[in-house]
Structures are given as structure tokens and as C-alpha cells.
Structure 1
Amino acid sequence: MPFIARQHELAVLSDFLSEIPRHGSAIHIIGEKGIGKSRLVQEASLIASRTGIRVLTMPSGAADGDTPYAALNELLHPLLTEPAEVSEQHRAALTSAFHSRRPGVDNPLVLYTAVLRLLDRSATRQPLLIVGDDTEQLDAASAAALSFVARRLRDSRVGVILVSARVTNDDRSSGLRELRLGRLDDVASARLVGNLAPHLPHRERQEIARRGGGNPLAIAELVRFARIGWEPTERPALAEISSAAAPFLHSVEALPAATQDALLLVAVARDTDLAALRAAGLEVAALQPAEHAGIVVVDARTRVVSFTHPLTPVVLLRSGSRERIRRSHLAFTVDERIPLRERAYHLAEATSGADERVAGLLESSARASAYRGDLDAAASDFERAARLSPRAGQRRRRLALSAFSAVGSEGDHEMRSSRLEELTDELAHGPGSLYAAVATAHAGLTGGLTVTRASHIIRHAVESGEHGWHAGDGELIDALGAWLDLLWAVGDEREWDSYFSALDRLRPTAPEPLQTLSIAFADTLRMTGAQRDDITSMLMKSDQHESAQVLRATTAAIFMDALDLGVPPAARQVAEGRRNGHSQRSLRSLAILALREFQAGSWDDAASLVGEARAVEDDPPGFERIVLHYVGGLLSAGRGDAEGCERSAGHLDEMGRRLGAAGLLRFGVHIREFDASGRGDWEEAYRLCTTTGAPGTFPRYVPQSIWWAFDLVEAAMKLGRLPDARAHLTAMEREDFAGLSPRLAILASAARGLVTDPDGNDFFERALGDPTTIRFPFDTARVHLAYGTHLRSVKQSEEARDHLRAALSTFEGLGARPWVDRARDELRAGRAGSAIDATVLTAPEQAVAALAAQGLSNREIAEQLFLSPRTVSRHLYRVFPKLGISSRAALRDALQSHDQ
């Protein structure tokens, strides 16, 4: 069994072992059965052997365990055959205890002293470690002798490790150092199950971890039974149950039959709430003998029944007869108050052989789970339904549905592939073929397939399918939705055109909300007002829509700046992920919540959400990671963390290149552009803003271009590219930025203020007078900074300071260091007055400014001065406010004015 989550305990034992060559010591390891005590002691023994310590183990439960000193005899036998300086009195005591016909001694103290002297003398040649595992099973005489020795080792080179499952009064008063082993936490339990059973479905691994209760042996037993099948018999041999589990069986068998039946009902239940158990016919009074025996606890406050040790339900399930277990499961299928999925599960557990009625109920349960976004549950139930399907066609269709559901689930990539392998060539056409195609495309992405090739697989299946393009064909609509989800990563205009051509072929017309979601996803700027209202309505009534549709609407809301409306459905997905393990959908929802917190100015909360998502294992990486890297990169850029910024953008670049996904690369473009704007590197910001299209254009199917529209106008103005700035502003107004979102309305008005020089005050005032500015503190601070810079350039110094201070206060609160520096530099320049002396420039700044005034780019300046382009950018960033200018175009005049 893998050794998991015991690093602290192993470190304690390593320290203990390191002391033995200098002075003796003893330690008492305590923990419930199956918690990993023996495994820990094995590791300690190996460490001892490697460091030159001789290890002697006292056997427990010896065949002649009733014989006094039987265990002690076996322990010391190797030492008794070696020469040792032991007095005649002590040797006689040892001989009398171990070799006489009637073992025993008149004075145990003499024997104890003899044992201590024997160990001490032997340890002079080589340090000794005595291990007494499972001390409860030792004969009483040996246990007493070992306890005596363990407390008197200080002046020897002997160490003793005692191991027991419970603490007795003697243990408490012995004065021995204690090391208590607790149960594994949820993370460690999940890791253990994953190591023991990596090929089990994710949901089944979760169930094993939950039932195992943090006890490694219980988890191992559950995994073993899951692999070989339960197949209970009338009376299983005890050999089929581990030796550690056998005492639990004896405890249960001592209880009344009614109590055993009640315990079995609790053991098969997945919900141990008393209300659910009573609905299945549990008589709580029948549990009282088990409570008195310490087998279960009925919590009166929480109304939950729980086993005191997780091995007990394992033993109950393994030892119960087939018919008793079947009756227990059937008890949960009678009452309609029991949820559909629970009834379907228990009915399937009680069913042997194919049964279409049960398979149909499981399929209904799976569809309900998929509707609410629990794709792990859906995949599991579809697969179980397939196993119980009597007809081959139904079986293959349900396996395809299971693989399709696993596309969005966490950790089931191999299970999805195994389901696909079971689907024969007959599934190339007919029911289930589109589901299989989608699952095949996504499975290929984990094996090196590009997103474009994956898109082609779905496209071919859709275009050649036998659906007749009927808009009411659920499988066709699901396939189109999966294709849509993939295309935003593809980012290719031709692929989008193919998708919309397929959408146009639907008869009588493409259904809602797919039609609206498609345009919202692909080309947000071209949405009609009615379509924007539809997306808003869907988010406001998210509980009335299928989970996949809501997730698409929430993603579309990113570009509409309507993430506040997407919080409730995203929060539900995240809560589900935290309970049952994160899926691709819950991770994407985490990213959406993080982005919303970023926009709302709660950057610390955004960073916390990104950290939570990054802690989830990423094997293989999914598309949900894109938005997480994006938000993480924005945070790094905003806070001046150049290394973190480049790391996030680099991740996106790597994923984009590996997957052949142009759409992913645009997220990295915005991170780097945002970083350049913060540092005042306008040349780099302008270059990045124009990578997807020339100023004055918003290309089709590139909604990301909305994000940097204001930045492009600002960069163009700083570089003296007034025609470019005006062209892009005109395009923003033509595309009705103000109608798309309140945030964009604020930025569009501020962009008009930048371009309308020198009379842009009214537009800045209009932007800052919008009551929605409170929802977007960072963007509002940017407008204050731009307005303050503008006012300073037209010599309205007092008014400029008010806006620059407002910007500085917000930037400081966010921890936006580059923006703090920009605001402070503008304030310092304003305090210097209108007659600014160029001598305030440092020598490097003067050299950079002179070359920039000649029209050289940052890269060209860097080559001439042997600097990096980033350093050149930083110098210019400080030069502008010192000279009282706000753009590169004004640099030559400012320097010439000074020279005159």
C-alpha cells in the first residue's frame, strides 16, 4: 500500500532513531486499527537498518500466546545464542523463564533486570531497536516485561517502539513518549484511492474515499472489493477478510439479528441522514445494542448515523448474504421521497443481469444530473445503465452518452477512452454516433490532437449524420453545443463559418437558446439588443436552464461585463466541485468568479480563487485552465509582477501552440498588453493591441478585441498616432460599445475625451458621472488618471491633482504598483508647475529622450544604448511627466523648448 500523508510522523520517528546510538529511549505509537501503524513501523525499521541499528521484532499473537513470556522468548532468542556479559543470576532467570517445563519466575523483577542487562550488553556492539507491534495481542507476562524495560533505557543504546490501538490506564501513567496517528484528511484519502485504483471511475473513487473515512485499511479493503466484485455468499471464509477486519465481524455477529439488519441498512446507504434511513424502513431502536457496543453513533443534533470505525461497514457488506444485501438496497427504492438518483442506484445494486426498466431509470437519473451540471454522476449512471441494457443498440448508445458526459468531468479521461473502445464500428451511424464523435474528439486532445482537428471530427459527424437536420434532435443539438464550446479555442474564422452554416441548415430554425448563445460566444459585438436581453434573462433565471447553456451564457457575460449575473450559477458549480471534486465546469466557474472579483476591484479575493483552482491536479490540462491563467496573468500584470505575468502568458502560449489554438493565444496578448500599458510602454502596448486587426477594425469572431479597445486609443495618442486613435474611437462608437456594457460605455466616453484635445473635459466628466463606475473601480481609476493627465497638459493643475489623487488612492488599495507609479509621477510633474526644467532628467533619461524625439522605436533605442526595450520603456515612462507632456509626439517640442 502506498505510504501517504505520514511525513510528519515519519520525521518524528527518524529523530527518535537518531537518538538511539547516544542514549536509549522508547516511544508509544497509538492509533485505531487499520490507521497505518504497522506500515509506519516498517518504514522506521528500514530506516534503522540503513543507519546501522539492529532491529528485533516481538511477534504478537504467537501460537502459544497463553504461555507466559512466549513472545519475549522469541524476541530475545537471537541474543541468547550470542556471547554476552550477563551474570549467572540473570542467566538463570532467563533460562527459568524460557526453557523450563513450567515457565515462570518467582521474582519477575529479577527477570526484567536480566532482560534489560542482556539488551544493554548486546547494544554495546551494535545499537538495538525493539519493536512491539500490536501489544494488545502479547501474552501478559511479555507485555509487562517490555513495559518495564521501555521505561529504563536512558543509559543504554536501546530503543523501543510500542504499538497499540487503544490507550490503557497503564499507558497513560507509563511516562512514555506518545505518537498518535489520526485519520487521513480528504486530500490524502483521495490520493490513496487514486494510487490504489487509478482506473476506477472518478465518482467511484470519491465514494470509496468517503466510505473509507480516512482509514487506509478500510480504503484498501473497499478498493479490493471494488476490483473483484462483492458477490456475497451465505457465509464467507474469514480468509477473504483481512485479519485486522475479522474482529469487527465478530463484534457484529454478537448483536441481535434485528440490529445486524439495521446496521446493514446503514452500511448500504449513501446518505446516512436519519430521515433518509427511516424512509427506507430503519427502526432507530434496533440500533441501540450497536450503540452500547460502540459500533455506531446516532448524533441527536445532526440526525446522522455513523460507524465508529470505517472497517465495520466494509465487513458488513462483505459478510452479508446476497439476499440480505439485496433486500437492504431494495428498501431504498420504495419511498418516493428518496431522490431519483438514490433510488436508481439502489435498484441497480439489487439487480443481477440485464434489466431495461432499471437501465431506463438510471438513464433518467443521468440526464437529470447532466442538466444540473453533475457530469461525473451522469457519466457513472449512463455507464451503469449501459451495463444493464439487454439490447446491444441501447448499450452502445448509453456508453456513448457516458463518454460524452465524461468530456466535462474531472479525472475520467482514461475511463472515457475505455468506453470509446467498447463502441464498435456500428456506432459510426445511428443513435449515439454524435455523442461518440464528440467524446472521441475530446479524448484526442489529451493525446496530441489539435483543436482544429478535433473540430473537424465533430464537424464531419454532424454533416454526415442521419438526423435530417431536425432542430428537435437532442443529440444533434448537444453535438452542436459541444462544437461551439471547442471553437472559441480554435479561433479561426473559417471554422466559425462552417459552424454557422451548419446552424443555418437546422429546420425549421436553430433553436433557442443555442442561436443566441452562438452569436454571443462567437461575436459579442454583433449581438442585437434583443439577444443581449436574452443572455441577461438566462443568467437571471439560471435555475430554469440546462447547466451547459448557463455556463455558455456566463462565458458570454465576460465580454458583456455582466458577470454579476453569472455569480449564482457559477457559485453553484463551484460549491458542487468543492463537495465532490472539481470538474472542468466547476474549474471554469472558479475562473469566472475570479474574473468577476478582478473587475470588481477585489483583487485579493480573485487571487485566492485562482490559487484554489491551481491547487487542483491538472492532468491532462483542460480548456478551463485558460481563463485561470488569464486572470492570474492580469493580477500579476496589474501588480507589477513581471515574472508571474510572463509565466501566465507563457502557459497560454504553450497551450495555444500545442493545441494549435489561435483563440487561446489572444488571452496571452491581453496579459502582455495590460502589463505594457501599466508600465507606460506605449509602443509595445500599441503593437500588441493591433495583432488582431488594424486600428479602426474589430474583426469577426475575436471578442477579445473588446478588452483592449481603450488601451489602443490611449497608446495611439501617447505615440502621436492621432489618426489611428480617431479611427478606433469611431469604430467603438459604430459598434455601440456604450450599448454593450456600462463599463465599456465609461471607457468609450473616456476615449472620446482623449481624442478631443484640448476640449475633452465634458467627455471625461460624462464617463465619471456614470453611476455604474462604483462597480468597476480599476477602470474608473484609469479614467481619473487619463483625465488628470489631460488636465495637467492644459494647465488646469488644481483640477488635475484631484483626479490624480483619486486614481492613486484606488491603485494603492488594489496593490496596482505600476499604476501607482504612473499616478505619482503625474502628481509630481503637476507640483513642479508649468515651467518644467529638462535638467530634472537623469543622464540615461536624457539619452533615451533625445533618441525617442528623433522618432526611433524603443527597440532601436535599446540597440543603440545597449539597454533592454523594457528599460527604455521605463525611462520614457518617467520622462513624460517630468517634461509636462503626455505623449511621444510632444517630446521633440518639449526638448527644443528647453534648449531655446
Structure 2
Amino acid sequence: MSISISNARPVHGTVHDDDVLRRAVHTSSSTNDRFVVVEGPRGSGKSHALAGIAAAARADGHAVVELRSSDGDPVIASNSLEPWLRLVQDVGAPASTRSPATRRSFVLVDDFHTLVDTARSVLRTVLAGLVRESDTVCVVAVDDRQCVPGWVDLQYVPLRPLGDADAEELLRRDRVDLPTSRAGLLLRLADGNPALLHAVGRAWSAGSAAERTTPFPTSYPRLGASGDAVRALDGLSERARSTALAIAVASVEFPEDHPTWDDQGALLLDERLRELVVEGRTGLGFRDPFVRLHLLSTATAAELRRVRSLVAASAAVPERLRVFAEAAASPAHDDGLVPRLFALVDESLRLRRPDDAATALVEAARLTSSDADRAQFGARAATIAAFTGDFALVDAEAERVASDDEPAHPALVGALEFVRAARTGDVRAGRRAVLAALDRSTRPDEDDVLVATLHVLCYLRGDGSWWDEALAVTADRDVDPVLRVVEDCLDDEPAGEERAALYRAARVSMADAQPWKAVALHVAWSLLDATDPRREVLDAVLSRSADAGLLRYFGSCRAAVAAYQAGRFTAASAALDGVRRSAEEWGADTFVALTDALQALIHSLQGEPEQATTKADRAARWALQHGAPLVARAADHARSSLDVAMGRFEEAHARTTTRPAPAGRWLENSYGPIGLLDAVESAARLRLTDHGRSLVSAAERTVGSGATPRRSMVLKAARAVLDADADARVLFEDALADVDTEVAPFEVARVRLAYGEWLRRSMHALEARTQFRLAASTFEVLGAGQWQARAERELRVAGGTGAPSVPLESTDLSEQERRVASLAAAGLTNKQIANQLFLSPRTVSGHLYRLFPKLGVTTRAGLRDALLGLEAPRSDALR
């Protein structure tokens, strides 16, 4: 084969690397397919990609030859010499004399573009012959925008340094357990290179908890001899090396700094050093992250401290980093730095930087000479770290306390028990420890953290008697208004001025952005019904809180639950995938199991029984092993919902009768909005009406006069399902008038389905078909496949089809109904319509309830088109 030399870059598409490599090893691959060029800039991980290809090829039984460039010369790896000689000897030899063939040979060449011209030309010719004559796959790595001249239509795989999101995903897959601040330092150090992320991340994760939580590492890991990195630094003078080390420290540990230091106030770079650095968005950095790491890893601890102090003296360095650098350079007690560190705590919290606040407290605890202050600072740091998901810092403080053989500070008990509950679901032991710590607590701030932890434990337990005890414990204590908000959300009594004042006080309290407050308000939000107006107030307060670490998980969880309750099942399922990954990242297995249970419920509603069963069973097994009743109930509700949707009423009833009822006050977990209706419908289908009535009566007694519209609708519908006389019609219609379809679409459709079944049994087939059509239409929009199929089956039994039961042209609306429909179609709320027409909101809701079946629509969004359809025949008649 003749090869024409050309410097022009070949035209190629952006084929994904997996596709290119899959094509290269396919039995039908062409010559061009088997020659692959991996390109990318420094830091893109070309060497890491070649190592991965080599490992995969060897695992599949292929022969692998690895070459790299060293000062322009091709160097072969020692374990590659034998397969390389055998491969070269076999090319051109008679078939009878060739060595026994392996499945395929891979030749991998790193930094092909840095070879001298002669070596590159000869190697290119040899590789071309191997690819053509021996079915060899050849992969070469080149720099960004480089090409292999002389070969047309090669397959290029473009690589780029990993972005922060992909880099964090890689760390999650590698199970790299680092505090948030150290993880951020790692991302800057690796500069998107997957090999450095993997190696340094693993090395730092293997260190002690105390080492992982220091503001700056005492040393950097060595990754073995890197010839290129060593050679790049060999020619530097002592002064240039000091400058290079300062640039390395500044670019990794002081990302907000633009280094401008030296004796004259300007950074001087000699010619050799200029070849290694590049001007970036935040100042000077290294072109090659491996060179930077080699420089940092060969510096002594004393050198690193000296350079940090030098960098911190720059005017561009923020005060917080300057203080951290001075603290890191002070190995002994330094009480003079403690006030400066302590001043950073409140400032960092106000600026929504809880990681900096925790770091400042850890350093203050290390430098103070007071044992009492050391315990208090360490406990407060652990509290911040626990509620932001920095569990390693909590572990470090627990190790320190254990090694010093001192009793745990009350606030530290709260942090430890929150972490244990998140990791293992063990809430029983946690409650005992928290209550004991409250008995010996002497400070209101300690009480607040312990009570916040107690509220989390009560929520995860889902037991009303636990909440009753928690309320009794805090009754005479001066606790933060945020915690009173949690208690208020246990109460369904109507709003008053006292409640409004409480929420104003909580908003003021949230100004200091303590992480435990955000978690407490998340618990409060989760205790509320979806139609409770207090949710909007809490959403507004929480939107101004920090979103670091685990707090971001809680925010995503609220968004996913809100999407689910609004009937946006697909969006909720996608959001929960991210929620689950976040929970896995923090090692919060309890939240992982709870997410599985919620996803199981969504799968059951979407008509995906296999996925629903798999996730529900996984969550139920975890709950059984760890004693987590809330997770168990959520998983059980997912299975019950699936059973009811598929008509398996005996199975659903068996679950409701064996499920332990929560003791004390009646609370729902926000994930099963109509579990009561499932249970009552199952009992009615099996003619166990007495059991169904006992469930409804118990729910009505516990709800009392504080029923929200959504709960009221479910209670009325449940009572109507059990009612065989004409009163059921009134109950169903009142239930449907309580809640707009847009607020709770799935629940309204469920009630319509139950109403249609009652109408059909009562010989009102025409009205039943209307309810079935509306229910089926809503289920279809929501993607609730199982429920849609059930509604359509009921529609066929009632003698209906999919066509509208009443033509729009024949629909007769009163003038009042037209005005209500027009205003609703324009986007006005029921309250706004009532104000304009001098009606009550309940009357407006009743009008809309009767309008929807008449117009054949299920949502307000369909009103406009329906009204236009009514106007068209009238216009034709006038003409």
C-alpha cells in the first residue's frame, strides 16, 4: 500500500468513541475502521483512555503492544516486547510458518505526535502494514487538533477534559469519599483528567478522617515516576522551581487568586517556565496537570507551608483563605488565630458557604488551648457537616472524642445520630441517645440541634406517638422558631395571626443559614398535604437557604415529590434518578431506600409492574433489615396501589390488614396521597364494608375539622364507595368539588373512576360513561397506564366508546357557566373568578365540576378550545 504524505487534517465526523472502537473490533471491520486516532489536549486523559483499551483487550484474550514517545523516540513497554516481535515476524511470512494466532492484536501508541519525523514516518508505515495484512487494530494518541498525515478517512475519537459534572460522576463510581471542600480541591488538581481523579481521589480517600478534613493537604500523593513530568521540571532553576511551586499551590488551593507576588510585586517567569504554564480564567496554571502534581508531590510539608503563607499574603486572596493558610502553617496552639477563625463561621454561613464554616471550626478546635472550647468547636463543626452530608468530618470528630476518652458533646450526639439514621435507618437507638443528651444539655443552641435531629428521627419512624413525645419534650424549652414551625405542621387547625407571626420569626431565624434549619423545614414541608398553603411559604423560605451537599439532595427531593403529586410522573421519575444518585454519593442508604419506594409507586401508576415490584421489594428488604417503618410503609403502598390498579383486591386488602397502623395522630408521609381509598375500595370489592367503615371513621376522627381539601376529597370519596344508597352521589359530587383537577389530577381521576363505578352499579350508565371517559383521559395524560386500562375497561362495560358522549354543538351552557368557563380559560384562579362574579370560591368550583363533563375536557387548559368549538356553530348560524 502506498501512503501519500499530507499535512492536511482529514475530515471526520464526531463519532462516539465507543462506536468507533466497537466498529474497529467487529469481524467485518475495514482497514480504515481498524486504525483509530484518539486526540485531545493535555488533561483530556488520552493515556487513561489507552490504558482502559489495553485492559479491556487483555481481558478479552487479545495480544496488546504498548508504545510511547520518550524525547521523540518510540519506547516499547517490557511486557509488550514479545507480542510485538511475534507480530512483526508474522507479517509477510508464509501462513504455514506463522505463530498460533490469538483472537486479535492491538497496538497502542501514546503521544504519537511528539515522535521525531523519522520515527513517526517509519512507525506509520509499519502500522499501516500491520493493519492491512494482519487484521491488527491500531490506536494512536495525539495532541489536540493533531492528525496522522498520509492516511485518508481515519476514525478520530475526540477527547476533552471532563467537566465538573462528569468528574463528580467518576468520583461517585469510584466511591471516592471526600468532604466537599477536598473534593473541590481534587477537581482543580486533576483539571478534568480521569487518571488523576481516579488515582489521587483513591489515595486521599484511603487516608484517615482527620487527614481528609484539613483545609489543605499536608502532602500530595506520588503516582510513580512520570518521565515527562520529571524532564519538564529538570531544567528549572531553584528560583524558577519556587515560582512554579507557588503557581501550583495557588491554582489548586487558592482558586480565586491571581498570583502577583515576589520581591518586586510581579511574578517573573523565565523562558523554560513559560513553556509549562498558561494564563487561565483565574490566573496562571499548568498546561499539564501531571507536571503540577509531580511538583506538589515532591515538595516537603515545610515547603508547602511556606508557599501557602507566601500566596496568602497576596492582596487578591480572600480573607477566609488567608486565615486558613495561616492556620495550616501553625502546627501548635495559636489562640490568637481562634477569634479570626471564629469570625469566619457566621460570615460563611450568611454567605451560604457551610463547608468553610465547618473548616474554620475544625481549625479553631485544633488551635485553641481550651479543652472546653475544643469540644464545643468540634461539635459545632460536626453539626454543620452532618446536615450538609460531610459525614467524614463527623467521623473524624467522633474518632477524636473517642481517642481522648471524653464524653460526647450534646451537639455532637445530634450530629452522630442524624448520620447514623441516614446511613443505617437505626432510629430507635438514635432517639434514646438524643433524649439522653437533651437531659444533660445546658445551652439553647445545643437543644435546637438535638430537637432537629429528634424531628428527623420521628419523621423517619412515621409513628404518631413519637411525635407526641417530642412535643412534650419541647413544650417547656426555648427552642428556635424553625422547630416550632415543624410542630405547627403537625397541626391541621385553621391559620391565625399567631401562626403568621411564627412563620415571620422563622424567616428571620433562617438568615444565619444554619444547615440543620433547612433540614428541619424540609421535614415540616414533608408533613404537609400537597394542597396546604403553608407549603408555598416554606418553599419561599427554603429557596433562600444554602444548597451545598446533602441540602441539595433535600431540595431535589422536594421538587420530585411536588412533581409526582402534581401528576407529572415522568418528570418526577427523572428527578428521582438524580435524587437517588445524590443519596448514594453521601452514603445515605436510608434515603436511597426511601427513593426506591417512591419510584416503585410511580412505576406502579405508570403501568410498569416489573419495575415497580423490583424497587418495592428492594426497599422493603432494606426496611426489614434496618427497622425503617416509613420506608416499609412507602414500599407497601406502592405494591398496594399496583394491586388495586390491576384488580387484585384480595392481595391489596391483605396488605392493608397486615400493615401496622401509625399510633397516635394521623399523619401521611406525602408519598401515598390516597392509600385510604385503596384500602376502602379493596374492602368494598370483597364485601367487607364494616372493615372499610372502621378505616374511614378512624381517619375522620383523627383529621377532625382540620381536613385540607385533598384529604377532605379522599375521605368523602372513601365514605361514598361504601355507601349503597343515593347519599353516595352527593358525597362523590362534594368530593369532586373540593379540589381542582390541576391541583391533584391523579386523585381527582381516581375519584371519578370510583364515582363512575357507583353510577354504573346504580343503573346510570350514561353518567357513568362520562366519568369513565374523563378519568381515562386524565390517566392517559398522566401516563398512568394501568389505571387508564382499568378506566377504559369500565367504560366498555358501561356500553361506551372513546368518542365524546355529547357533541359540543349541542352543549347548552347557562350565561353564568359561560362566564365562569371564559374566566377559567383565561387563567384566573377560582378565588379570582369568585371576586369578579361576586360568588364564593366553592360555587365557582361547583360550576367547573359540572362544566368539565359537559364540554368533554379534563383540565382548564382544554376549556379555551372547547369554548371556541361552541362559538363556531353559533357563528355559522348567524351567517
TM-score above 0.5: yes
Q: Which residue of 1 aligns with 2:124?
A: 147
Pair 1:402–1:130, CA change in 2 (3 A): same
Shift of residue 780, structure 1, vs aligned partner: 1.6
Amino acid at match of 1:610: L
Pair 1:571–1:674, CA change in 2 (3 A): farther
Q: Which residue of 2 aligns with 1:515?
A: 484
Q: Which residue of 1 aligns with 2:430?
A: 454
Q: Deviations over 1:67-112 (max 9, x none)?
A: xx9979x9999999x9x9xxxxxxxxxxxxxxxxxxxxxxxxxxxx
Pair 1:658–1:163, CA change in 2 (3 A): same
Q: Which residue of 1 aligns with 2:227?
A: 243
Q: Secondary structure at the match of 2:192?
A: coil
Pair 1:42–1:256, CA change in 2 (3 A): closer
1:678 aligns with 2:645: yes
CA distance in 1, matches of 2:466, 2:541: 30
1:667 aligns with 2:631: no
Q: Which residue of 1 aligns with 2:314?
A: 331
Pair 1:500–1:280, CA change in 2 (3 A): farther
CA distance in 2, matches of 1:687, 1:399: 50
CA distance in 1, matches of 2:518, 2:144: 55
CA distance in 2, matches of 1:360, 1:789: 71
Amino acid at match of 1:296: V
Pair 1:242–1:759, CA change in 2 (3 A): same
Q: Deviations over 1:709-763 (max 9, x none)?
A: 4444545554555555555555555555664423223334444555663034444
Amino acid at match of 2:179: P
CA distance in 1, matches of 2:476, 2:272: 66
Pair 1:653–1:637, CA change in 2 (3 A): same
Q: Secondary structure at the match of 2:309?
A: helix
1:595 aligns with 2:561: yes
Q: Please say if residues 486 and 523 of structure 2, whose CA atoms lie closer than 8 Å, have aligned partners that are also in contact.
A: no
CA distance in 2, matches of 1:378, 1:681: 54
Pair 1:535–1:372, CA change in 2 (3 A): farther
CA distance in 1, matches of 2:363, 2:192: 27
1:656 aligns with 2:623: yes
CA distance in 2, matches of 1:390, 1:459: 31
Q: Please say if residues 296 and 305 of structure 1, whose CA atoms lie closer than 8 Å, have aligned partners that are also in contact.
A: yes
Which residue of the other structure, out of 271, 296, 300, is the alignment partner of 2:278? 296
Q: Please say if residues 277 and 284 of structure 2, whose CA atoms lie closer than 8 Å, have aligned partners that are also in contact.
A: no
Shift of residue 482, structure 1, vs aligned partner: 0.9
CA distance in 2, matches of 1:162, 1:690: 64
Pair 1:51–1:601, CA change in 2 (3 A): closer
Amino acid at match of 1:629: D
CA distance in 2, matches of 1:642, 1:79: 52
Q: Secondary structure at the match of 2:362?
A: helix
Q: Decide which structure has the larger Cα Rg and report it.
A: 1
Q: Which residue of 2 aligns with 1:839?
A: none
Amino acid at match of 1:803: Q
In structure 2, runs of 5+ residues without a counterpart are 1-15, 802-879
Q: Which residue of 2 aligns with 1:355?
A: 334
Pair 1:437–1:333, CA change in 2 (3 A): farther
Q: Which residue of 2 aligns with 1:851?
A: none
CA distance in 2, matches of 1:485, 1:117: 71
Which residue of the other structure, out of 447, 450, 453, is the alignment partner of 1:476? 447
Pair 1:403–1:669, CA change in 2 (3 A): same
* The 10-residue stretch of structure 1 (673-682 or 564-573) with the greater mean CA deviation from structure 2: 564-573
Alignment of 1:251-266 (within 5 A): 263=247
Q: Please say if residues 677 and 711 of structure 1, whose CA atoms lie closer than 8 Å, have aligned partners that are also in contact.
A: yes
* The 10-residue stretch of structure 1 (20-29 or 738-747) with the greater mean CA deviation from structure 2: 20-29
Amino acid at match of 2:529: M
Which residue of the other structure, out of 118, 125, 128, is the alignment partner of 2:98? 125
Q: Which residue of 1 aligns with 2:609?
A: 642
CA distance in 2, matches of 1:135, 1:437: 58
CA distance in 2, matches of 1:769, 1:47: 63
* The 10-residue stretch of structure 1 (700-709 or 768-777) with the greater mean CA deviation from structure 2: 700-709
1:503 aligns with 2:448: no
CA distance in 1, matches of 2:60, 2:592: 46
Q: Deviations over 1:313-371 (max 9, x none)?
A: 5467667875444222233687xxx5x75555455456554434544444554556667
Pair 1:792–1:342, CA change in 2 (3 A): farther
CA distance in 2, matches of 1:599, 1:446: 24
Q: Which residue of 2 aligns with 1:699?
A: 664
Shift of residue 474, structure 1, vs aligned partner: 0.5
Q: Please say if residues 383 and 412 of structure 2, whose CA atoms lie closer than 8 Å, have aligned partners that are also in contact.
A: yes
Q: Deviations over 1:873-899 (max 9, x none)?
A: xxxxxxxxxxxxxxxxxxxxxxxxxxx
1:422 aligns with 2:400: yes
Amino acid at match of 2:438: V
Q: Deviations over 1:547-568 (max 9, x none)?
A: 4334333333333324555555
Q: Which residue of 2 aligns with 1:166?
A: 143
CA distance in 2, matches of 1:47, 1:807: 53
Q: Which residue of 2 aligns with 1:12?
A: 21
1:434 aligns with 2:410: yes
Amino acid at match of 1:499: A
Q: Please say if residues 587 and 624 of structure 1, whose CA atoms lie closer than 8 Å, have aligned partners that are also in contact.
A: no
Q: Please say if residues 591 and 631 of structure 1, whose CA atoms lie closer than 8 Å, have aligned partners that are also in contact.
A: no
CA distance in 2, matches of 1:348, 1:703: 49
Q: Which residue of 2 aligns with 1:708?
A: 675
Pair 1:197–1:702, CA change in 2 (3 A): closer
Q: Please say if residues 580 and 591 of structure 2, whose CA atoms lie closer than 8 Å, have aligned partners that are also in contact.
A: no
Q: Which residue of 1 aligns with 2:752?
A: 784
Q: Deviations over 1:199-219 (max 9, x none)?
A: 653531342024312224554
Shift of residue 270, structure 1, vs aligned partner: 4.6
Pair 1:670–1:36, CA change in 2 (3 A): closer
Q: Please say if residues 212 and 218 of structure 1, whose CA atoms lie closer than 8 Å, have aligned partners that are also in contact.
A: yes
Pair 1:135–1:673, CA change in 2 (3 A): closer
Amino acid at match of 1:560: D
CA distance in 2, matches of 1:116, 1:425: 63
Shift of residue 609, structure 1, vs aligned partner: 0.8
Q: Secondary structure at the match of 1:296?
A: strand
Pair 1:528–1:731, CA change in 2 (3 A): farther
Q: Please say if residues 171 and 201 of structure 2, whose CA atoms lie closer than 8 Å, have aligned partners that are also in contact.
A: yes
Q: Please say if residues 23 and 33 of structure 2, whose CA atoms lie closer than 8 Å, have aligned partners that are also in contact.
A: no
Q: Please say if residues 31 and 182 of structure 1, whose CA atoms lie closer than 8 Å, have aligned partners that are also in contact.
A: yes
Q: Which residue of 2 aligns with 1:407?
A: 386
Pair 1:244–1:19, CA change in 2 (3 A): farther
Q: Please say if residues 746 and 773 of structure 1, whose CA atoms lie closer than 8 Å, have aligned partners that are also in contact.
A: no
Pair 1:131–1:665, CA change in 2 (3 A): closer
Shift of residue 439, structure 1, vs aligned partner: 4.0
* The 10-residue stretch of structure 1 (396-405 or 747-756) with the greater mean CA deviation from structure 2: 747-756
% identical aligned pairs = 21
1:614 aligns with 2:580: yes
Matched residues, number: 757
User: TM-score if structure 1 supplies the norm length?
Assistant: 0.68
Amino acid at match of 2:597: Y
Which residue of the other structure, out of 537, 555, 560, is the alignment partner of 2:529? 560
1:774 aligns with 2:739: no
CA distance in 2, matches of 1:817, 1:77: 61
User: TM-score if structure 2 supplies the norm length?
Assistant: 0.70
CA distance in 2, matches of 1:773, 1:297: 57
Q: Please say if residues 716 and 732 of structure 2, whose CA atoms lie closer than 8 Å, have aligned partners that are also in contact.
A: yes
Q: Please say if residues 742 and 772 of structure 1, whose CA atoms lie closer than 8 Å, have aligned partners that are also in contact.
A: no
CA distance in 1, matches of 2:659, 2:501: 29
Q: Deviations over 1:114-173 (max 9, x none)?
A: x99997459963478766554566565444432343344466449595755537978334
Q: Secondary structure at the match of 1:589?
A: helix
* The 10-residue stretch of structure 1 (453-462 or 749-758) with the greater mean CA deviation from structure 2: 749-758
CA distance in 2, matches of 1:773, 1:51: 57
Pair 1:564–1:649, CA change in 2 (3 A): farther
Pair 1:516–1:565, CA change in 2 (3 A): closer
Alignment of 1:827-842 (within 5 A): 827-831=795-799
Q: Please say if residues 248 and 311 of structure 1, whose CA atoms lie closer than 8 Å, have aligned partners that are also in contact.
A: no
Shift of residue 42, structure 1, vs aligned partner: 5.6
CA distance in 2, matches of 1:668, 1:23: 53
Pair 1:827–1:628, CA change in 2 (3 A): same
Pair 1:159–1:675, CA change in 2 (3 A): closer
